[in-house]
Amino acid sequence: MSKKVLLTMDIDWTSEAVIKLALDWVKSLNIPCILFQTHYSETIYNEHSKLFTKELHPNFCDDSDHGNSIESIIHHINQLEHRGLSIRAHKYNMPCEALKIYESLGFRFSMNNYTDMKYQHSYQRVGELYELHTFFEDGFYLKNRYPFDLNHTLDRMTTDGIYVFNVHPIHLAFNPKEYKQTRQFKDEMTKEEYRNINDTFIREHSFCGYGIKSFVTELIDQIKKNDIQFISIEEVTL
């Protein structure tokens, strides 16, 4: 088995303007991407490119606006259009009971364990549902203040297997070089303001230098040059 990369994106209640920029970024790279949806987005609903697989991103945290029980949260989020192969919970907080339900619904892959660039092999987690560990995440990369050095990630990709990468539209739109640059939007804005960020706000507040979007874009380009294939969830074989 060779090395392969599976790109995923947690939508996390971002606005239509932010989502559009993120989807355009994926198209410019021409690689498959799983969209883990938190809410209805007209942009995602109307997106029919074969690059994208639409999946679900339920919030089981205490302050969830998806519902107040595992069953109500699943019922709420499952109304969104989705492929039904893979699942990731918000903040990787996936109760075992919820995983059992998703396994019974035919889902085959969970991506709810973040390893901070430490490769771990997949394993059978619940019934016929397997855990694909998330290897890289843009938010944690910023939060941990890791260097924008390609080798900091590439040197950790030594084992054959599937490497799950996770990015967020908010980071792709604003290209921050520090975690606090986008975190402050959530801290200082109301939910309604955050979910309605427009193009003008993005232009005024995005970082024009070398930020996390710049780094991830260059990282993906180098991975391609290293002949590592980007695959879709439908192409995953264990």
Q: What are the residues whose beta carbons fall under 8 Å from the beta carbon of 86, sequence distance 6 or more?
A: 34, 53, 55, 107, 108, 109, 110, 111, 132, 233
pLDDT confidence of residue 235: 97
* Three-state secondary-structure class, residue 136: strand
Q: Is 64 left (phi over 0), alpha (psi -120 to 50) or beta?
A: beta
pLDDT at 1 over 90: no
Contact 166, 137 (CB under 8 A): yes
Quick: pLDDT tens for 136-171: 999 999 999 999 999 999 999 999 999 999 999 999
**What is the model's pLDDT at position 117?**
98
CA distance linking residue 117 with residue 110, whole number of Å: 17
Strands 129-131 and 123-126: antiparallel
> Percentage of the chain with pLDDT > 90?
99
Residue-wise pLDDT tens digits, 6-51: 999 999 999 999 999 999 999 999 999 999 999 999 999 999 999 9
Q: What is the CATH number of the domain that holds 87?
A: 3.20.20.370
First-to-last CA distance in the chain? 9
- Predicted confidence (pLDDT) per residue in 177-236, tens digit: 999 999 999 999 999 999 999 999 999 999 999 999 999 999 999 999 999 999 999 999
Q: Which residue, among 70, 105, 71, 69, has the nearest Cα to 87 in the 3D structure?
A: 105
pLDDT tens track for 82-125? 999 999 999 999 999 999 999 999 999 999 999 999 999 999 99
Long-range contacts of 223-228 (CB under 8 A, 24+ apart): 223/5, 223/154, 223/157, 226/154, 228/2, 228/3, 228/4, 228/5, 228/157
Domain range for 225 is: 3-235
What is this structure's pTM? Answer: 0.97
**In total, how many domains does the chain have?**
1
**109-110/86-87 β-pairing:** parallel
